[in-house]
Amino acid sequence: MAGTSITFQINERVSFLYEKGGGIVRDINSQGHYLVEDESGFERPFKSDELVKIHGYEYHLPDDDVAQINEDDTISSSQHTIRKESLTGVRKPIDVWEIDLHIESLLDSHLGMSNSEILAVQLKELRSFFKRATGKHIRKIILIHGVGEGILKEEVRLFLSKKDGVTFYDADFREYGKGATAAEIRYNL
């Protein structure tokens, strides 16, 4: 898909591709540059190929291919998304389940929590999500962990490496940036 450019919406949260940090798209100027308000409050111009979407704050997938699921509130309080993904040579698209493990997506407030307490909540949600996905024989999952210091990413990949029949890799860079892991699960039926 060389040459495919991602478009961004006003007020959408983005990360910078070639530098640390991110911001919120505030405007699109006449040259086609996106004006992004960075963490310091400055508006800076970027081309679309210099930005990456941030999932989990106010990001919305199209309603026609996403359904919110959370069948068992006793397992998890977080919302996960399902979308259909086509595979070459397969007649029926596969379900892809996606979870955002950013703490802001999991809890209303994490004020006063230590980093280890936050990580414990995130890993509990990961285990719950994985259990639910494998219980429904979902073949592909996307785990959005963000970039940060890489601790959550390491823990996600350590968890996946201990599971039989699971292969994992960086999720599509154009859609998730560096902050997500895709996992494919094989079942012996």
CATH number for 36: 2.30.30
**What is the structure's pLDDT at 142?**
93
Residue 136 lies in a domain: yes
End-to-end CA distance of the chain: 34
Query: How much is the pTM?
Result: 0.55
**What is the structure's pLDDT at 94?**
66
Residue 34's domain comprises 13-53
* Token representation of residue 150: 């890489």
Do residue 143 and residue 173 come from a single domain? yes
Q: Rounded mean pLDDT of the chain?
A: 78
Residue 23 lies in a domain: yes
Provide the domain count of the chain: 2
Identify whether the C-beta of residue 24 lies closer than 8 Å to the C-beta of residue 11: yes
* Token representation of residue 13: 């949260």
